[in-house]
Structures are given as structure tokens and as C-alpha cells.
Amino acid sequence: MSNGDIDARFPLELEAPRFGLKKPEARFDVQGDMGDDARIATAMKNFVRDFGAVAATYMESCIHCGMCAESCHFYVATGEAKYTPIWKLEPFKQAYKREMGPFAFFFRTFNLKKRTTVAQLKEWQELIYDSCTMCGRCTMICPMAIDIASLVGLARHGMAQAGLVPHELWGVAERSDREGSPLGATPKVFKERCEWLADEYEVSIPVDKARANIMVTMSSIEIMKYPQSIVATAKVLNHMGADWTFRSDGYEATNFGMLSGNAQWQKDISLRLINAAIACGAELLILPECGHAYGALRWQGANVYGKPLPFKVRHISEFLAENLQNGRIRVQPLAKTMTFHDPCQVSRRGGAMEAPRQAIRALGAELVEMKETGGLNWCCGGGGGVVTIHRADPIRYKAFQIKMKQVEDTGAEVLTSTCSNCRQTFDDGQAHFHWDKTMTSLLELVADNLAEAPSERPSAVK
């Protein structure tokens, strides 16, 4: 896919001044009152600390083939060399060569490798946060299997320690750690929402049951922007006769601690869910339609907890697929053509690629795949916290054009996915481009098409 292909169909006027306002200068965000030298030293110290043998091997094994460039939506959409994935690891490379590489002694002794400057940190902030969704597409394409997405995640740790996170992303991460939610969905707000939705939609929404087989979680975007997802969750689980609950001490699966690079906040946020599930004796914790929540708990949860989790963790799409297939969820056929947008963190990074497709087929819809799909799906451009960073909007919209073309090319009647962050990015892109396609939630499609009779096996946990 080339830059020309996408621009012709959905032209952008990124630089056009609106209402006579001048475009603001690019901004470089800092937190705390560290001086420049201390900030640089902290960032480099943490980059170096996160080097393991694997990261060092990655650094040495790049053959500079450039294949990763064509795999990255930000590079493809803009054609700008600085968005080449391997270039985003420049902070690591600089720190590695000077501090740990085979010639580090000479680099330092003879001052052959110059110290990092504040100007470089500014440049890196944009590369590490604004122009990487940690989607892992470059990782799939790289012939040397260099996991650029994970290394960008590690580089964010160093940036977070040095107080170099874009303000909006830092703000939602800090609020999430402090209040329990990045968007103000505090326990009180969440409980009130559940009560209101239960009345409004006449559906039972259990919150804070002392014991339950299944504990269900939501993302902040669903709670605040798509509350119909809460209703859909309740309808499906009640239809199955499941023994389930939300918990006000652990309902928010979004983990902006992870996206910002603050490892302590990531841990705090994950432990809330883990401790709540243990407190109610849940055998299964269901993660919501949220991509990075899946990676944070399903694949990193045991590391955070320090031992295997005493319950199963499943994404809602896996739960739906399994129970649609075994007949515990019964639906009326949905005779439509449908295309599926793979959320990067669930499909490519998480490995749960087949489940949503099984659910779509069980719904009776005809699945029309995008040309590059599953592990090679193009990112929507809003993951990794990018959708929160306003100054990244222009390149995010450019990258979104790739996605629009993919969807258009399928000709499908329905567009669905299983990530509320993708959904928000699609909604925003739809409004920006006056596009006529609306993203729907797979969970809500299932809930809206439930067969009327309830399950005959009320307490089954799957």
C-alpha cells in the first residue's frame, strides 16, 4: 500500500489553518522539576537497566534491510523516514553503544559517542509515544525477528522514569493509578452507572457479590462512552444463567500504567483486578473489549503477581466464541456480510485471532476478510496511548486512511471489532473524514441477537 493510494480516496488537509488560527508549535512534555542533566542521566540509566541479553542481541542483529519501514502504518502513511520502526529504537541504541556494547569502553574513554542531548530526548518522545502504537506489525515482518514493539515498551520505562511522557498520556495514567480509572469512572460512578443501566434496560447487573464463579471487567471507554457494553455483557451472562459479578474494587481493566511506561502504576492497576478476583473466589476473569488490557493481564498478569494466577483469564471474544460454539449462548441468525478489524493487542500480539471469527460464524454472518488480516492486519493508529495524544492527531488520521481503505475494499455491510480503544479511534476517524462506516462491537452484536429462551445449564462456567 502506498501513500498515494490512500490520499487519493480520503484527502487530508493537515496543515490548513482553521478560523485564522496558527498551527501550534510541536510541544515537548516533561513532568517534575529535574534539570536537563538529571533528566538525561535518568533516562539513559533506565534504558541501560532494561537491557537484557535479548535486547542486546536484538540491537546487534539488525541487518538494516529496511523491511520494517513498509510494515509501519505511520511510515507508510507519511513516507517520513523518521517513522521507520528501527529508528524508534535509537534511544536504546545510543545508550547501549555508549554504556554496554562491545566497544563501550572506547566510546566512553575517547568520547567517540557523544552524550545524549535534550534535543534528542524531544525527538525520541515523539518517536516512542506519538508514532508507535506498539502494534507489533514490524515485529512480524522483520526477518531477524527483532521485537521492536516490546523494545519501544521498554524504552517507555526509561522515558517515564525521567518524566518525559506526553502530558495527556501521563495525565490519564496518573489519574488511573490515583482514582481507579483514567476517565473518572471511580467506583462510585461505576456503581451508579450500573444501577442506572439496570433500571433503564431492565436487566440484572450484579455488583459486589461476595462470591461468584465469574468476575467481569470493563474498560473505561466502555463505562464512560459506550455504556451499552455493560448492558450487553449483563444480557449475555444472564442469558447463560452464569454466576457472575462486577466488583467495585476491581472493574477497570484499562492499564495506562503500561502504556505510559510507568511499571509501578501498571502493577498497581493489575493487582486491583487480581485481588478482587481472588476476594470473590472467581474461577474466571473476563477481560472486556480492550486490546491492551488483554496483554496487561493475560500475558503479563502472572509476572506482576509473582506467581501463576489462581483463576483463568479470557478476553470476552474468547468467552463468546466458546459459549456460542457449545450452545450455552444461543442466537438468532444474522444474515449479513461482516468484516472484522483485528485489534493488534488481542490478535497479533495476544494470539486470540480465531475466537472472534468463530463468534462471527456462529452468529450466522458471512465473514469477509480484509486483504491483510489476522497477524498482518493494519493497526487503526490509535493504540499504545496514541489516541490520547492531541499533537499526534495529524499522523494518526493519516494512518487511519489505510484502515478506511481496507474496510472499503471488503464491501461488507457490517464492520465489527473487539476493542473499545479501536472503536473510539474509528468513531473519531469517521467524524473527521465524514465517513459512512460505523464500527460495531462484536459483544453488542451477540447481545442484540440473543435467542429468547434462557440456557438450561445455569451455573456452567466456561
85 binds ligand SF4 (CB under 6 A): yes
Name which position in 10, 47, 51, 74 contacts ligand SF4 (CB under 6 A): 74
Give the distance from CA 336 to its chain's centroid: 28
Find the radius of gyration of the CA atoms of the chain: 23
Please identify which residue in the block is written with the cell numbers 444472564: 238
How far apart CA 324 and CA 342 sit, in angstroms, is 19
Q: Which is nearer to ligand SF4, 84 or 217 (CB)?
A: 84
Among the listed residues 274, 290, 168, the one whose alpha carbon sits nearest the alpha carbon of residue 218? 290
232 touches 446 (CB < 8 A): yes
Name which position in 8, 14, 144, 451 contacts ligand SF4 (CB under 6 A): 144
In which element (H, E) is residue 396 found?
A: helix 393-410
72 binds ligand SF4 (CB under 6 A): yes
What's the angle, vertex CA 299, arms to CA 293 and CA 301, rounded to 5? 75
276 binds ligand SF4 (CB under 6 A): no
- Amino acid residing at 342: D
Q: Which is nearer to ligand SF4, 58 or 246 (CB)?
A: 58
Residue 232's φ and ψ, nearest 5 degrees, are: -60, -40
Q: Which is nearer to ligand SF4, 338 or 379 (CB)?
A: 379
Set of cell numbers at residue 132: 508507535
Residues comprising the chain, all counted: 462
Question: What sign for the dihedral angle of Cα 299, 301, 305, 307?
Answer: negative
Q: How far is the CB of 88 from ligand SF4 (least distance, A)?
A: 5
157 binds ligand SF4 (CB under 6 A): no
Q: Which is nearer to ligand SF4, 38 or 63 (CB)?
A: 63
Set of cell numbers at residue 41: 542521566
79 binds ligand SF4 (CB under 6 A): no
Strand ranges across the sheet with 244-245: 244-245, 214-216, 284-287, 312-315
Pairing relation of β-strands 414-417 and 439-441? Answer: parallel
Q: How far is the CB of 299 from ligand SF4 (least distance, A)?
A: 16
Query: DSSP code of 307?
Result: S
Q: Which is nearer to ligand SF4, 151 or 287 (CB)?
A: 151
451 binds ligand SF4 (CB under 6 A): no
Name which position in 6, 121, 146, 259 contacts ligand SF4 (CB under 6 A): 146
In sequence order, which residues have a C-beta less than 8 Å from that of residue 17 and are 6 or more positions away? 23
Name which position in 68, 205, 352, 380 contacts ligand SF4 (CB under 6 A): 68
Q: How far is the CB of 345 from ligand SF4 (least distance, A)?
A: 11
Q: Which is nearer to ligand SF4, 235 or 349 (CB)?
A: 349
59 binds ligand SF4 (CB under 6 A): no
Among the listed residues 275, 207, 193, the one whose alpha carbon sits nearest the alpha carbon of residue 244? 207
261 binds ligand SF4 (CB under 6 A): no
Name which position in 40, 76, 77, 86 contacts ligand SF4 (CB under 6 A): 86
Q: Which is nearer to ligand SF4, 70 or 366 (CB)?
A: 70
Q: Which is nearer to ligand SF4, 180 or 381 (CB)?
A: 381
Q: How far is the CB of 206 from ligand SF4 (least distance, A)?
A: 39
Sole window of 80-88, 190-198, 246-254, 292-300 interacting with ligand SF4 (rule: CB under 6 A): 80-88
Q: How far apart are the first and last CA of the chain?
A: 41
Sole window of 9-17, 144-152, 212-220, 281-289 interacting with ligand SF4 (rule: CB under 6 A): 144-152
Contact residues for ligand SF4, defined by CB under 6 A: 62-68, 71-72, 74, 85-86, 88, 132-138, 142-144, 146, 148-149, 152, 379
